[in-house]
Amino acid sequence: MSNRTFTDVKLVAEQVPETHRTLENDRTITTVELPGMVTVYLVIDGGRLPFTQLRGADVLEAIDRAGAQQKAAQEAQQQQTATTAPQQPAPEQQQPPATPAPEQQQG
C-alpha cells in the first residue's frame, strides 16, 4: 500500500435537536425542543466519517461562554486603548505654530 497525503482535512459539526413531548394532567400535550446531540464529522477529501458525539447543551454553553469572554476581552482592550491613548487633538484639529508676520516695508 502506498503512502497517501490528504490535502483537504477538516471537522464539521451538525446539531440534531430533540423534541420532547409531555402528556399533561389535563390531557394536553406540551412540546419542547431540546438541544439534542451534536455530531462531529471528520471530512477527508470529501469523505465524511462520524468522529464523535457531544451533548448539544454542552456545545451551546461553550459557544455562549466563549462569546462572552471575547466580548469582555474586546471591551477591556477598548478601555485600555482609550485610557492609554495620548490626549492630543487629532491632526486636523491642531493649529500650526504661529509664525511672526514679516515686517512690511513702507516706502
Distances (CA, A) of 40 to 13, 57, 72, 93: 4, 14, 29, 55
User: In this structure, how many other beta carbons lie within 10 angstroms of the beta carbon of residue 65?
Assistant: 10
How many whole angstroms separate alpha carbon 85 and alpha carbon 90? Answer: 12
Q: So where are the chain's domains?
A: 9-82
Lowest mean pLDDT among 35-39, 41-45, 100-104: 100-104
Contacts of 4 (CB under 8 A, 6+ apart): none
Query: Is residue 15 over pLDDT 70?
Result: yes
Reported confidence tier of residue 83, pLDDT bands at 50, 70, 90: confident
Q: Which of 63, 15, 62, 61 is nearest to 36 (CA)?
A: 15
Query: Is residue 7 over pLDDT 80?
Result: yes
